[in-house]
Structure 1
Amino acid sequence: MEPTAKALSRTYGDRVYPDPWEKVLDYRRVREYAAEHPTAGRVRVGRALDLPAERVRGWLEDVVPDPVRGINTAIDRSWLDPDPDGEMAAALVDLLAHVLAGGSIPADNYVPAVTPGERVSAAEIRAAFERVGVETRTRNADTPGRATEVVPTCDGTVLGRCLVAMGAPTGAKTSLDHLPAVVWDVPRPVRRSFARTYVRHRGLDYADKSTTRVQVERPSSFIAELREVLDDVIDERVTTADAGLTISAAAARELGVE
């Protein structure tokens, strides 16, 4: 699923609206009514739309609800409803691979962070963020005991929420039991790039073996779907094992992760 305004809005909590998308719709109704009736006050608007006058008051005074603000930012960034065959969809899926395999999205602020590894450099991760139009900084590079992370410097919360709307989890990823459906919505070359990025983050080499082990602490359903993606984009052998996959040397060469 590509990020949509409705899915993005539902990443925001709200004390009044069980479904934050309804808040977005009510805000739009208020703004449209006010535009058509410029002299109407909060009481008249509230009565006309069956909404509390105090709620209407803020929206008439240019208070923008958080989900509306997020949607507006995502629209400006071209992150919502991208063409599945277009460059932005490819860039978002590539970044999604980095986050799923080598990063995280904290539930408290939604700012995505990705950790470099042996095969994946900080420069490559920065390039993935920049591909969706976001600049980055490096965090914890000089902090002992903390992993170095690449994080966005602007609109990171909205970007993270868009990735969650695409199927990325917040917090611990070990409970993620399915690959995001968007991986199957994009063209095969983009899916191949997703698989390559994932394996490059998670792949382990052994001194006495020519195979690559992909260690994945996920439910078996997730591992099975990851194998389906690999089987779709390469011809060489990939096998499923406990808590991960084993990629033959030929498959690693074909995928470009030797």
Structure 2
Amino acid sequence: MDRDESLLEERDLARTYDGGAYDDAWTAVKQYRRVAAYRIDNPDEGYTAIANALELPVGRVRSWVDYEKTPNVVAGLRAAREHGWLEVTYDDDTFTALNALVANVYSGGSINQQNWQPLFVLNERGFNSHVIDALELADVGYTVHDEADDDRGPVIRPGEDGAILGRVLYVLGAPLGKKSKLEEFSLPWYLDEAPRDVRELFVHCYLSNRAYPDPASASIQIIEERPRSYREELAALIRSVADGPVTVGEESVTISADASRSLGHLPEHRIAAEESE
């Protein structure tokens, strides 16, 4: 895949709305746009005439014309475009943010299956965590969902358009719902042909949440109670950006001292907008 090739199309995002108000949300988007274009040239025609002219269901057109209802999928596409999430490429600053957020869904967050809202648990750096930078760079900011307690740090979520962002992250490959209950679990598809810098950022974000350094050996261990196939996939990804052995164990992935040093052994990888160039 070329660096300038789009990673997220309107159709892909629209499909996440299937089964709600419309069985085929992308078809509804195209119909809505046809109605809007027709009304520009025929401002005096009512919904029945429009429906007949375009051969569309009368009830559907009436809700758009007489009741001025905008389908949720259309509103979602508009918001995604305003935030710069659609047609992103590997080289876009916006994708830098999305890549980091996908990594955080895997390593320290989740996307609610019912409302599509992403939640992120802050690591030991608290509100200096890189996920704060990622949400700011994604143009949504953040709000505190739960304060810190004895078991974990504060939990944050996007400050606006969180459900739409959750859908975007899902299209990019982030898991939806409780990860422990998913039968199939693998890394996001866009990493398969991603440039090194994209893979490297994903790894650093992942490690900032899940790495357990061993001072005695200078190695790093990641505890992963996932299928072995996933641990092997994760190890292969880390090897692709690290110079040194990375091994798979029972419920763990171990990054050797050499590999750790080649990664810079960064406990936190900052991606503030001014550093993303």
Give the TM-score normalised by the residue count of structure 2.
0.84
Change in CA separation of 1:144 and 1:223 when aligned onto 2, cut-off 3 Å = closer
Q: CA deviation at 1:200?
A: 2.1
| Match 1:23 to one of 19, 25, 28 | 28
Other-structure match for 2:58: 53
1-side partners of 2:8 and 2:225: how far apart? 26
Counting only pairs closer than 5 Å after superposition, residues 75-86 of structure 1 correspond to structure 2 as: 75-86=81-92
Q: Secondary structure at the match of 2:179?
A: coil
- Count of matched residue pairs: 257
Shift >6 Å, 4+ stretches = none
Aligned position for 1:131: 137
**For the residues of structure 2 that align with 1:132 and 1:185, how far apart are their CA atoms?**
23
Q: Secondary structure at the match of 1:233?
A: coil
Aligned pair 1:232/2:237, yes or no?
no
User: Structure 2 CA distance, aligned partners of 1:16 and 1:134?
Assistant: 26
- Mapped partners of 1:41, 1:237: distance in 2: 69
CA distance in 2, matches of 1:145, 1:237: 32
**Cα deviation 1:203-255 (Å, max 9, x = unaligned):** 22346553211122323332222222212111111011223311112212221
Q: Does 1:191 align with 2:204?
A: no
Q: Distance in 2 between matches of 1:141 and 1:15?
A: 33
Using the size of structure 1 for normalisation, the TM-score is: 0.90
Identical-residue share of aligned pairs (%): 33
Cα contact 2:99–2:202 (8 A) shared by 1: yes
The 5 Å alignment of 1:24-173 reads: 24-61=29-66, 62-118=68-124, 120-124=125-129, 125-141=131-147, 148-173=154-179
Whole-angstrom distance in 1 between the partners of 2:21 and 2:115: 20
In the alignment, is the contact (CA less than 8 A) between 1:93 and 1:182 conserved in 2? no
- List runs of 5+ in structure 2 lacking aligned partners: 1-5, 267-277
> Contact 1:179/1:222 (CA < 8 Å) preserved in 2?
yes
Deviation per CA, 1:95-146, whole angstroms, max 9, x where unpaired? 211121110111122121111223x533222111111112112232156767
Kept in 2: contact 1:77–1:133 (CA 8 A): yes
The structural deviation recorded for 1:19 is: 2.2
CA distance in 2, matches of 1:157, 1:24: 18
Kindly tell me: are residues 165 and 234 of structure 1, through their superposed partners in 2, closer, same or farther at Cα, counting changes over 3 Å? same
1:42 to partner: Cα distance? 1.1
* Superimposed CA distance per residue, residues 45-104 of structure 1 (whole angstroms, 9 cap, x where no aligned partner): 212222221210121243110011000000000011112222111221112111211101
CA contact (8 A) 1:213 1:246 kept: yes
Aligned to 2:223: 215
Question: Aligned Cα RMSD in Å?
Answer: 2.2
- Give the conservation status (yes or no) of the 8 Å contact 2:10–2:77: yes
Alignment CA distance shift 1:69-1:214 (3 Å): same
Instruction: Give 3-state SS (helix, strand or coil) of 1:79's partner.
Output: coil
The reply on whether 1:12 has 2:17 as its aligned counterpart is: yes
Distance 1:184 1:121, change over 3 A: farther
Alignment correspondent of 2:212: 204
Q: Does the 8 Å contact 2:104/2:206 carry over to 1?
A: yes
Flag structure 1 segments of 5+ consecutive residues without an equivalent: none
Aligned to 1:181: 189
Q: Who is 1:250 aligned against?
A: 258
Contact 1:212 1:246 (8 Å CA) reproduced = yes
Give the letter aligned to residue 225 of structure 1.
E
